[in-house]
Amino acid sequence: MSNMNSETVDTRLPLKQIWPDALVARYRAAGYWRGETFPAFLRERAVSFSELVAVVAETGRYTYAELDKEAERIGAGLLAQGLKPGDRVIVQFGNVLEFIPVVSGLFYAGLIPVYALPAHRITEVSHFARKAEASAYIAGRRYAGFDYATLARDLVSAVPSIKHVVLAEDNVGQPAEFTPLSALKGDAAALPRNLDPQSVAFLQLSGGSTGLSKLIPRTHDDYIYSFRASNELCGITPNSVYMTALPAAHNFPMSSPGWLGALYAGARVVLSPSAEPGAAFAIIERERVTCVGLVPPLALLWADAAAHTEHDISSLEVMQVGGAKLVPEAAKRLMTELTGLGCTLQQVFGMAEGLVNYTRLGDSDDLILNTQGRPISVDDEIRIVDDNGQPVSEGEAGNLQVQGPYTIRGYHNEEAANANSFTADGYYCTGDIVKRTPEGYLVVQGRANDHINRAGEKISAEEIEDHLLGHPSVFDAAVVSIPDDYLGERSCAFIIARGDKPRAVELKKWMREQGLAAFKVPDQIVFAKAFDTTAVGKVSRRELRAQLRQRFLEQAQSDKALSDKALSDRAQSDIAPLTQTQENN
C-alpha cells in the first residue's frame, strides 16, 4: 500500500491511516493523492515565489525564501537536539509569526506536530502529550497574558516522555531555562528527504464529543488534497491575501483553505492575533486582505461593525463562516451587509476528521443562505442513516456518515472510541444530524452526541461533568447546551450539591484553577435538589441531559417577559420550578 522505496524515510510510526487498497488506487487514479509532501511543496514554493511575502504577523513578515530558511534552521536544530523523524512534538502558539516556520520546520525534519490551541492548559496539553507519546513541547513564551513556561514546567514533570522544551522567548540574552527557539541550529543536510506521502504528517485535535479531545492523524496526501481542492472552491490564487483571525491551529483556518492553502497557492498569509473587528479591520486595510474565515458570532459582529468603520475593508472578496451553524436569518443579515462591500458569503461545514462542505462562490442566494454547502469531492461518499444504521428517505434528517479521500479511518491510540466512531466498513460517524437537499447540499439540523458548540469551540459534556465531580461540594453534575443569541450555544451545568451548596462564582473560579481551557468553564450553573432516575433507578446521562435542557427551555419560554439578562442572572441561583419538579419525584 505504501510507496516506500529505499530512499524513503520510514517515520517509524504506528501512525498509518489504512484506506482499503481499492480506495487508495481510486484516489490516486483520480489525481487526489499526488504523492506530494509538506516539506516538498514548501521547498518548491520557496523557489517559485521566493521574493513574495508568505507570512505577515504583528512582529514582522517572511518571504517564501526566508520562511524556507527559517524552517530549515528550526528543523535541523531540532534534530541536532536529539529528536528523530517520527517523534511527536506538541506545538502551542497563538497567531504569531513564529508559528508557521515552527510547523514548517517540524515538517522539514519529519517530526509530527500535535496542535494544541493557545487556550489549552496543563490538563489538555498533558493529555495530548501522553496520547501522542510526545517527545517535545514547543511554544511561544507569552500569549494573551499567559506564560507558557509555567505550563512547560508542569508538563515536564507530568509527562516523562517530554525530553525537550523549546520556547520562543522575548527575553533573548537572559540565561534560559528552556532552549530558546532562536538558539536552534543544526546541519540542514541531516534533514530527511522523501518522506512517505501516505504517512501521517501531523496530529490534529477533535473537538472531543465524548471525554477529552482525541488525536486525528492526517497524512500528507490526504490533507494536501483537501486544501488544494479548497483553494479552487474559495478562489485562492497567488494574488490572494488570506487572514487567519481564528486560532491558527484550528482545522478551519489551517486548511479550509486556511493558511496552508494560501501557502500552497503562493498567496500571502496574514495572522491576526485578535478577531475583534477594530483590530482586524486595520489589518485588512493595511494588507488588502481578500479572504477570511470566521465563526458565526464573529461574522455577525464584523457585519455590524462594517456598517460604520472608518477602515477601508473593500479588498474583502470572500467571508467564510463555519464551525457552528449559521442560521438562515443571521445569514441574511450577513449577506445584506457583505453585498454592500462586494464580498461573497461562503458557508463552510467541516471537521478536523476530514469532510468539508462549502457553498460555491457562484451559488444562488437561496443555497448560500439555507445550506451548509456540499462536499469538496465527488468521492466524498455520504450516507444519512437512522439510529439503526438504515438509510433515511431522501430529504429526511439522519446521522451523517462519510468516507472519502481526506477523511480519517481511525483516531490515534483510541481503540474504544474508534469502535463507536467508525462503522465496520470504515465510514466516520460524524455525530451530526443533517438532511440533503435535491441539489445534494447538506443542511445541519443538530447533532446526535452531547457536545456543546460554543461559538465553534466544541466542549464535551462528559469531560466537564468529570471535572465538576472533582469538587468536594459537587455530588452530581449534568452539563447541557442552551441556545444563546450571541454564542449560538452556551454551556449550562446542573449541579446537585453535597452538603453546603457552593456559590456559582466559586465553582466557576475553581474550574478555572483546574488547568483547563477557559472556554470549558460552564457559562451558567443551576443547582437542583435531585435528578430524575429511571424506573430501575439507573440514569442514562443522555436522557438526563436532554430532560434537564428541555425543562430549562420550557421554563425560559413560559416566562416570556424575562429578558436574556434577567434569565442569566436568575440562573446563577436556584431555578425553583426545576428543583420542585425534581423534589416531586
Q: Out of 132, 348, 444, 578, which residue is the one contacting ligand DBH (CB under 6 A)?
A: 348
Shortest distance in whole angstroms from residue 481 CB to ligand AMP:
12
| Distance, first Cα to last Cα, the chain | 59
Site stretch for ligand AMP (CB under 6 A), options 231-239, 308-316, 347-355, 515-523: 347-355
Instruction: Rule CB under 6 A: say whether 255 interacts with ligand AMP.
Output: no
Q: Out of 349, 358, 441, 510, which residue is the one contacting ligand AMP (CB under 6 A)?
A: 349
What part of residues 235-254 is at the interface with ligand AMP (CB under 6 A)? 251
C-alpha cell read off for 99: 508559528
Q: Which is nearer to ligand AMP, 56 or 348 (CB)?
A: 348
Cβ count within 10 A of residue 315: 16
Q: Give Cα separations from 317 to 82, 259, 349 (angstroms).
A: 46, 16, 19
The interface partner of residue 421, options being ligand DBH, ligand AMP, none and the CB cut-off 5 to 8 Å by kind, is none
Shortest distance in whole angstroms from residue 152 CB to ligand DBH:
27
Q: Out of 180, 266, 350, 410, which residue is the one contacting ligand DBH (CB under 6 A)?
A: 350
Instruction: Rule CB under 6 A: say whether 373 interacts with ligand DBH.
Output: no
What DSSP string describes 496-509? EESSSPPPHHHHHH
C-alpha Rg value of the chain to the nearest Å: 24
Instruction: Rule CB under 6 A: say whether 372 interacts with ligand AMP.
Output: yes
What part of residues 422-451 is at the interface with ligand AMP (CB under 6 A)? 430, 432, 444, 447
Cα–Cα dist 448/256, whole Å: 24
Shortest distance in whole angstroms from residue 326 CB to ligand AMP:
6
Cβ count within 10 A of residue 184: 21
The values of phi and psi at residue 379, to 5°, are -95, 10
C-alpha cell read off for 394: 431522501
Instruction: Rule CB under 6 A: say whether 350 interacts with ligand AMP.
Output: yes
What DSSP string describes 383-436? EEE-TTSPBPPTT--EEEEEE-TTS-SS-TT-HHHHHHHB-TT--EEEEEEEEE
- What is the edge-to-edge ordering of all strands in the sheet holding 136-140? 179-180, 164-168, 136-140, 88-92, 112-116, 200-205, 215-219
DSSP code for 350 = E
Please identify the residue of the shown chain whose CB is closest to the bound ligand DBH: 350
Cα–Cα dist 523/97, whole Å: 32
Asked if residue 377 lies in contact with residue 352, where contact means CB atoms within 8 angstroms, the answer is: no
Site stretch for ligand DBH (CB under 6 A), options 74-82, 347-355, 373-381, 411-419: 347-355
Asked if residue 45 lies in contact with residue 69, where contact means CB atoms within 8 angstroms, the answer is: no
Instruction: Rule CB under 6 A: say whether 252 interacts with ligand DBH.
Output: yes
The values of phi and psi at residue 444, to 5°, are -80, 125
Please identify the residue of the shown chain whose CB is closest to the bound ligand AMP: 207
What part of residues 302-331 is at the interface with ligand AMP (CB under 6 A)? 322-325
Instruction: Rule CB under 6 A: say whether 407 interacts with ligand DBH.
Output: no
Instruction: Rule CB under 6 A: say whether 380 interacts with ligand AMP.
Output: no
Farthest-apart Cα atoms in the chain, separation: 74
Instruction: Rule CB under 6 A: say whether 434 interacts with ligand DBH.
Output: no
Instruction: Rule CB under 6 A: say whether 458 interacts with ligand AMP.
Output: yes
Q: Which is nearer to ligand AMP, 90 or 345 (CB)?
A: 345
Number of residues that bind ligand DBH (CB under 6 A): 12
Q: Which residues contact 170 (CB under 8 A, 6 or more apart)?
A: 141, 142
Q: Out of 39, 257, 297, 323, which residue is the one contacting ligand DBH (CB under 6 A)?
A: 323
Instruction: Rule CB under 6 A: say whether 351 interacts with ligand AMP.
Output: yes
Question: Is it true that the peptide bond before 20 is cis, omega within 30 degrees of 0?
Answer: no
Instruction: Rule CB under 6 A: say whether 377 interacts with ligand DBH.
Output: no
Q: Out of 207, 354, 375, 398, which residue is the one contacting ligand AMP (CB under 6 A)?
A: 207
The interface partner of residue 325, options being ligand AMP, ligand DBH, none and the CB cut-off 5 to 8 Å by kind, is ligand AMP
Asked if residue 540 lies in contact with residue 508, where contact means CB atoms within 8 angstroms, the answer is: no
Instruction: Rule CB under 6 A: say whether 206 interacts with ligand AMP.
Output: yes
Number of residues that bind ligand AMP (CB under 6 A): 21
Provide the residue type at 65 as one letter: A
Instruction: Rule CB under 6 A: say whether 257 interacts with ligand DBH.
Output: no
Cα–Cα dist 196/38, whole Å: 11
The interface partner of residue 219, options being ligand AMP, ligand DBH, none and the CB cut-off 5 to 8 Å by kind, is none
Q: Which is nearer to ligand DBH, 62 or 358 (CB)?
A: 358
The interface partner of residue 255, options being ligand DBH, ligand AMP, none and the CB cut-off 5 to 8 Å by kind, is ligand DBH
The values of phi and psi at residue 173, to 5°, are 105, -25
Of 323, 264, 313, 266, residue with least CA distance to 291:
313
**Residues interacting with ligand AMP, by CB under 6 A?**
206-207, 251, 322-325, 347-353, 372, 430, 432, 444, 447, 453, 458
**Residues interacting with ligand DBH, by CB under 6 A?**
251-252, 255-256, 322-323, 348, 350-352, 356, 456
